[in-house]
Structure 1
């Protein structure tokens, strides 16, 4: 089920408090649409967090300001799309745009400011009471500026959404896929996707070592012969088994993603091995991550700037004990709760 987190204030414990939102208005003068296969636009918002849209930096001290719309995202996108096709040669038809990620954030580096827009969405053509997927997008766009990158970042987001709508409008109907989706399927798209992933259909994965998420999701161990010993923090340490039966190389995050000893599941993070559990159709673990190499960029930004528990902006992720959820689409570790 989609979880909504209501955010009243974005507070940073280092004394920087952003009080005024930075409003995003959907405008894309560069997007021109001459013809459209639809005249009706529906919008669904299935983001994991359907409240928070990210942050930008404002003022001389780069205070973090939350990005907001002045109306619900579904209505804002519907009106934006309607405006883009207003003067186009339109056919009878309807599309559904499903927004799964729409997140903006900024960072300051030595010589420039950077802004990143993360966008994941699907577009469906409605036929009677069913829907057919036209195409989907899962992208991250980074822009730079020597001064203020906010305006450029906001326009990048608007233009990306405009291009998405233009692609839908000009889509070749002959290329529409036969697979049928219901509206309920789209609203619960994560569960539909997980139903097709073998490891999400078992309580415990097969015994063995998994080199990467690709092996884990298919529930196909990369190595079934290994050695398990007592490790730190009451968690085991895993080693490959050499041809002579002796202990081989240590299992680390550089070469493995997860391990299952037949009784328990463990995820291999950059600074340790953490016991995993399956709960409500997802895999979780509690621990710390020394570096964010396997963490979701967007979700880490949620956490580091106050969205789900007030982790201070200056704090290192290494010292934060968090609960992580495994992203079923790519195996990234998504921080969801401070422990």
Structure 2
């Protein structure tokens, strides 16, 4: 059984509340997560005398929500011939977990998936797009070559109401977009209206992203704008005070006289003592946009 870990951050599994405090701690796994998950499927492939390949793309735990959630994206391939592999199973789902024992529920989920895989392996691979072994190491990069926004020299100017239009680089509404950053660092967005005769403030409701033909902004459900940056072959944006898409502020515990308790980038508990300026510091998380679904996932703590 071969495992390929395509996650951006191999150590970070997610976040969970710190018992007794109003804060969040990083969940870290120092082992080989993809190898550990592949153990659930080793016997299924061995029974069919086939080599299996697990590609782990996303694994993120949000234990700060109620109920806790697992964002999982993975694929399984089975060898069908010499240097020829066929897809067996593809998962790109958000699972709800038991608040009391989320890790026990994760174990049950993989047991359920392994039963499904056992059935799929035995099926003939008719009308299937086969992949070479070397291509499995960079499968997501090969897929992005077919996504217009990932290969475009510049984004098309306009309003993208959903990820489907965003990835095709075809705005729902093609219009002139004006992006302004105020002296206080607040991003404001205007658009033209009624045949470009008027310039009005953009209503961010129900919008996935906007672009002025040069810059791209991710629009949150709360109506805030965050610059999207392309690093390598992926899109990222930094967002303060949140660790998932829905607004859920980092809530530090304040000490008398100034200071707070929080976590460091490595997940270690830290107490910051200081005046009003220091206790107002809000963590900045980096989010990566999933190229298949368009959902955003934290991949690290910027500061």
TM-score (norm. length: structure 2): 0.72
Tell me the residue number matched to 1:241: 193
Q: How far has the Cα of 1:192 moved from its partner?
A: 1.9
Tell me the residue number matched to 1:92: 49
| 8 Å CA contact retained: 1:252, 1:268 | no
| Structure 2 unpaired stretches of 5+ | 248-261, 272-278
Q: List per-residue Cα deviations over 1:37-82 (Å, max 9, x = no partner).
A: xxxx33222222222334667877799684648x633443444434
Change (3 A) 1:183 1:263: same
* Candidates 135, 146, 156, aligned match of 1:196: 146
Q: How far has the Cα of 1:329 moved from its partner?
A: 2.6
Equivalent-residue separation in structure 1 for 2:52 and 2:127 (angstroms): 14
Would you say 1:330 and 2:293 are equivalent positions? yes
Change (3 A) 1:58 1:211: closer
* Candidates 103, 109, 119, aligned match of 1:170: 119
| Structure 1 unpaired stretches of 5+ | 1-40, 296-303
Would you say 1:183 and 2:133 are equivalent positions? yes
2:36 partner SS: helix
Q: CA RMSD in A?
A: 4.1
Q: How far has the Cα of 1:257 moved from its partner?
A: 2.6
How many aligned positions are there?
278
For residues 68-217 of structure 1, the aligned pairs below 5 Å read: 68=29, 72-82=32-42, 90-107=47-64, 114-127=67-80, 128-144=82-98, 149-150=100-101, 153-171=102-120, 172-217=122-167
Q: How far has the Cα of 1:83 moved from its partner?
A: 5.4
Equivalent-residue separation in structure 2 for 1:79 and 1:251 (angstroms): 50
TM-score (norm. length: structure 1): 0.65
| 8 Å CA contact retained: 1:134, 1:176 | no
Q: How far has the Cα of 1:219 moved from its partner?
A: 0.6
Change (3 A) 1:317 1:103: farther
Would you say 1:256 and 2:207 are equivalent positions? yes
Tell me the residue number matched to 1:35: none
Q: How far has the Cα of 1:200 moved from its partner?
A: 0.5
